[in-house]
Amino acid sequence: MSAIQKRVLYTISIAVFLTSFTAMLYYGYKTFYIQSEFAKSNNYTYHFALIAEESENEYWRLIEQGARQAAEENAIFLEYVAPKRADNEQLLRLMDRLIAAKVDGIITQGVEGERFVDLVHKAVERGIPVITIDTDVKSSERNAYVGTDNFYAGQLAGRTIIENTTGEQYVGIVTGRLDAINQQQRIEGLKQEIASHPRIEIVALMESNITRIGATQATYELLKKHPEINALVGTSSLDGIGMVKGLEEIAPNKEVYITAFDVLPRTLDLIRSNKIDATIAQYPIEMGSKSVEVMIELQEQVLLNKEVFTETRILEKDDVQQSSGVTR
C-alpha cells in the first residue's frame, strides 16, 4: 500500500470514528437529557419531574395525564422521563441526573434496594422533596407515597375468587415483574386473603415483563404445565389482556375465572364481553394529579400524613356496562 493510500485510509477511519462518537453522544444526550433550567418566560412557579417505570406504558401515560393536568392548573413545569423499557438501573440514573439538575420535586416509582434509598437521601439532603408513586419504599426518606394500597389490592383480587367461584380452584398468577415491590405486595395480599380457604390453591406464578405479549406467553406456559388451572390472576395493567389471548391460544373452550388489574379501556371491553370476570380498579389519572398536589404542599410544609392512598375497588360487568372508557 502506498503512502497516499495509507493517508486516505487513515483519514476515512478518523472520519468514521468521529461520526460514530458524535452520534453516540447525541443519542445518549437525548436518552438521558434533563432540563436543568425551565422556561422562566412562561412564569412557571416550580419544576417537578415525574419518573415513570417505562416511557410508553399505557398505565404510566395515564399517570402522566393526571399529573400534567394538575401541573397546568397550578403553573407547574412538569417533566416526564422514563427508561424506554422497564429497567431499574436506568431509572436510578435518571433520578440521579434530576437531583443534579436541581428540580424542585421528584415524583417517582419506588425501586427496591439500597441505591434507591441512597438517592432519596441525597435528594432530601439537597432540599428536593421526593414522592413515591405506584410503588412505595417505606425504608427510604421519601416525603410521601401517593397511590394504591397494593397489599389491599391483592386482597381484593383474592376476594373475587372467594366470592365468585365454587369448588376447588387452582390459581395461576401472571405478574408484571418479580422484582417490583408493588407486584410482590399484591401477591402477598392475595395469599393472605385466600389462606383461610383451602379449596383455593396457588399452583404457579409467571412473569409478563409488563407487556401484553409477555402475559400471553406466561398464560400459555402456565396452562401447558398446569392444565388443572381454572383461575387466573394478573397483577399488572396489561396482564388481563394478555391472559385472555393466551387462554384463547391454548384452551379456547376451557372455563377459567379471570381477575385482571387496572381499568385500561381494552380490559373493560373484555369484561363487557365476558372474557374477563373482574378487575381490580386503581385510578392512575387520580394518582398523577394527586401526586402533583401533594408535591405543591411539600414546597411549603411537612406533611403529617405520608401515605395518600387513592381509590381501589373491584369492578365486574355490572360496574362497567354503561362505561365507554376508563371507569371513574
How confident is the prediction along the chain (328 residues), in pLDDT tens digits per residue?
Answer: 555 555 545 555 555 455 554 444 444 444 444 444 444 446 899 999 999 999 999 999 999 999 999 999 999 999 999 999 999 999 999 999 999 999 999 999 999 999 999 999 999 999 999 999 999 999 999 999 999 999 999 999 999 999 999 999 999 999 999 999 999 999 999 999 999 999 999 999 999 999 999 999 999 999 999 999 999 999 999 999 999 999 999 999 999 999 999 999 999 999 999 999 999 999 999 999 999 999 999 998 888 789 999 999 999 999 987 544 444 3
Which among 187, 242, 233, 232 has a CA at the least distance from the CA of 209?
A: 242
Provide the whole-model pTM.
Answer: 0.80
User: Among the residues of the chain, which ranges form H helices?
Assistant: 3-32, 58-73, 88-100, 114-125, 150-164, 181-194, 212-225, 239-250, 265-272, 284-298, 317-320
Q: What are phi and psi of 38, to 5 degrees?
A: -110, 170
Give CA–CA dist 192/101, Å, rounded. 43
Q: Which residues contact 321 (CB under 8 A, 6 or more apart)?
A: 272
Element (H, E) at 206: strand 200-207
Q: For the chain, list the domains and their CATH numbers.
A: 40-148+284-310 (3.40.50.2300), 150-283+315-320 (3.40.50.2300)
Give CA–CA dist 313/328, Å, rounded. 11
